[in-house]
Amino acid sequence: METSNKTSAAVERLYDTYPFPPEPLLDEPPPGYNWRWHWSAAYSFCTGQKPSTQEIRILDAGCGTGVGTEYLVHLNPQASVVGIDLSAGALKVATERCRRSGANRVEFHQLNLCDAAQLAGEFDLINCVGVLHHLPDPIAGIKSLAAKLAVGGLLHIFVYAELGRWEIQLMQQAIALLQGQKRGDYRDGVKVGRQLFDSLPENNRIVKRDKERWCLENHQDECFADMYVHPQEIDYNIETVFELIAASGLEFVGFSNPRYWNLERLIGKNPELIGRAQELSDRQRYRLIELLDPELTHYEFFLTRPPLPKADWSDDKTLLAASCERNPCMSGWPSKSLFDYDYKLVQLSEAEFEFLQICDAHNSQGQVKVGEILAKVQLELDEVRGLLKRQLIMLSS
């Protein structure tokens, strides 16, 4: 317990020294979206259907300076939001951030997420991004959050992956060695780290990796400190991340970046290898993917407290009777060339474009049925299912 308290205190000092994330404060809602923080979009991704209510409670666990919290408030206008963090310095920034942008349906508490039991009630959506891997006991942390998740709710988690962060680990250890007795002086750690990067040869592996992935954000000391001089970090692989999930007592819904977890993008040109992979368990296939493509820097996934009802639109009659609306998380609409929920470029066919236009036109007045749209647009039912799979529409019974 004493070691755990010392670690938590060290983490608190880091974020009091360098409040994180350091995004600027705005006098308007933040730009764009993160669909994982949009209740309807996230719920539809996880279940295949729109949620029955928007009046929910959201917890941002380890909210830092409130960047995610601000989005959670603005993207979910009927929700009440609670943000917790152990750093008073970060919470001060979070409070001002939300005040300035008009995110007024939020309350903040200085609280370790392991003490989430002190919060009243349960939450329908819990967001925990970049926090559990900085705890001295991540299992205690995830159990604490799981206890606050409502039945049928979603817990969104982001933790570091070891393979894609190997060079970061090396630099962290090098800085710590050179700091010696000054370890824990985070400004000195940033100074040492900057000097190392300036001194190492340009072809050094750590330098090249930083230039490829991190240097644009790491010009800010807050980001550099969070990455390279953090006093506590646990990086995961597939085996250990599923041990963490099992400890929560919750059910794994799925990764929120399914494109990465598609094995065919790596070995699809060899049917024999695909056949061998089909004999593996899901977890073994996940491990195979990360071994073959070790660029992964984090795991991002959803858990639930079952039951979480999932829709089945395989029956044509059921699909025709479903209410349909355009997914709100897309950029560039209205256009046949736009960015989808993951900011990936999408080219819509003329019929798909007309389908989404009708969704928009009707949803400003009330819900429209799939069958009503198809009476006006030449689109097959399987193509409608394709729109749902691509997260371009949301359906409800």
Count of beta carbons in the 10 Å neighbourhood of residue 160: 21
Q: Same domain, yes or no, for 15 and 153? A: yes
pLDDT recorded at residue 3: 78
Q: Are strands 251-255 and 298-304 parallel, antiparallel or unpaired?
A: antiparallel
Dihedral-angle region of residue 111 (phi above 0 means left; psi in -120 to 50 means alpha; beta otherwise): beta
Residue 177 belongs to a domain: yes
Structural domain ending residue among the three candidates 270, 304, 338: 304
pLDDT recorded at residue 362: 79
Q: What percent of the chain has pLDDT over 70?
A: 99
Q: Is the pLDDT of residue 132 over 70?
A: yes
Beta-bridge mates of residue 253: none
pLDDT recorded at residue 133: 98
Q: Same domain, yes or no, for 324 and 353? A: yes
In 3D space, the residue among 329, 256, 303 whose CA is nearest the CA of residue 75 turns out to be 329
Residue 270 belongs to a domain: no
pLDDT recorded at residue 1: 66
- Average pLDDT, stretch 2-8? 86
Q: Same domain, yes or no, for 82 and 146? A: yes
Q: Same domain, yes or no, for 215 and 339? A: no
Q: Same domain, yes or no, for 155 and 181? A: no
**Rounded to two decimals, what is the model's pTM?**
0.97
Q: Same domain, yes or no, for 106 and 132? A: yes
Q: Same domain, yes or no, for 336 and 192? A: no
Q: Is the pLDDT of residue 129 over 80?
A: yes
The DSSP secondary structure of 23-62, one letter per residue, reads PPP-SSPPSS--GGGSHHHHHHHHHSS--S-S--EEEEET
- Which secondary-structure segment (H or E) carries 154? strand 149-160
Residue 288 belongs to a domain: no
The CATH number assigned to the domain holding 114 equals 3.40.50.150
Q: Same domain, yes or no, for 53 and 178? A: no
Residue 193 belongs to a domain: yes
Residue 386 belongs to a domain: yes
Q: What percent of the chain has pLDDT over 90?
A: 97
Structural domain ending residue among the three candidates 211, 228, 245: 228
Q: Is the pLDDT of residue 280 over 70?
A: yes
Residue 275 belongs to a domain: no
Q: Same domain, yes or no, for 130 and 210? A: no
Number of domains in the chain: 3
Cα dihedral 84/164/33/344 (nearest 10): -170
Structural domain ending residue among the three candidates 269, 304, 339: 304
Q: Which residue, chain included where needed, has tokens 């090098």?
A: 174
Task: Give tens-digit pLDDT for 73-123.
Answer: 999 999 999 999 999 999 999 999 999 999 999 999 999 999 999 999 999
- Average pLDDT, stretch 26-37? 97
Helix intervals (H) in the chain: 2-17, 39-47, 67-75, 88-101, 138-146, 166-179, 186-199, 205-213, 215-218, 221-228, 238-248, 264-267, 271-277, 282-292, 316-320, 350-363, 370-374, 381-389
Which residues have a Cβ under 8 Å from the Cβ of 110 and sit 6 or more positions away? 84, 85, 86, 87, 88, 91
Q: Is the pLDDT of residue 359 over 70?
A: yes
Cis amide linkage into residue 307, ω under 30° from 0: yes
Q: Same domain, yes or no, for 109 and 250? A: yes
Q: Same domain, yes or no, for 219 and 246? A: no
- Which secondary-structure segment (H or E) carries 165? none
Q: Is the pLDDT of residue 364 over 80?
A: no
pLDDT recorded at residue 19: 97
Domain residues for the domain of 339 are: 316-396
Residue 243 belongs to a domain: yes
Task: Give tens-digit pLDDT for 160-209.
Answer: 999 999 999 999 999 999 999 999 999 999 999 999 999 999 999 999 99
Confidence of residue 366 (pLDDT cuts 50, 70, 90): low
Q: Same domain, yes or no, for 320 and 332? A: yes
- Average pLDDT, stretch 314-337? 97
Residue 376 belongs to a domain: yes
Q: Is the pLDDT of residue 2 over 90?
A: no
Which amino acid, one-letter code, is at 386?
G
Task: Give tens-digit pLDDT for 288-320.
Answer: 999 999 999 999 999 999 999 999 999 999 999
Structure tokens at 260: 């990465």
